[in-house]
Amino acid sequence: MRVLLIGANGYLGRFVADRLLADPAVQLTALGRGDDADVRFDLATGSPGALTRFLDAVHPGVVVNCAGATRGGARELTRHNTVAVATVCEALRRSGCGARLVQIGCSAEYGPSQPGSSTAEDAVP
């Protein structure tokens, strides 16, 4: 199975990548901002069109999105945790690859919070 892992160099992405690489049935392509990624791409600033062309070339069956940010102000968190996901969704909608999306997120999607505080799932961002 062809899997595209977005955010493979991040905290969660590294664990997901290790697990996927251990499966001989998985053909993994890593996309991310770091030099270790197979393909460098920043979801927060990249266009859905560029990502669509990449999806059509790689043709994954599954896209796992681990990209995101846990630190920063409201604008940065929105860009990295909301706009980036919208970019992935729009690229998948435009693409002919038909891949399923596995979206992994965290409470930072709701904006900044105080250390040690919790965020309810029904909280308004």
Between the two ends of the chain, the Cα-to-Cα distance in Å is 35
Spans of all domains in the chain: 2-110
Listing DSSP states for the chain in one string gives -EEEEETTTSHHHHHHHHHHHT-TT-EEEEEESSTTSSEE--TTTS-HHHHHHHHHHH--SEEEE----SSS-HHHHHIIIIIHHHHHHHHHHH-SS--EEEE---GGGG----TT----TT---
Residue 92: which pLDDT band, with cuts at 50, 70 and 90?
very high
Which pLDDT belongs to residue 110? Answer: 61
Which pLDDT belongs to residue 93? Answer: 96
Instruction: Note the pLDDT tens digit of each residue in 5-60.
Output: 999 988 899 999 999 999 999 999 999 887 877 888 888 788 899 999 999 999 99
Residues 2-110, CATH architecture: 3-Layer(aba) Sandwich (3.40)
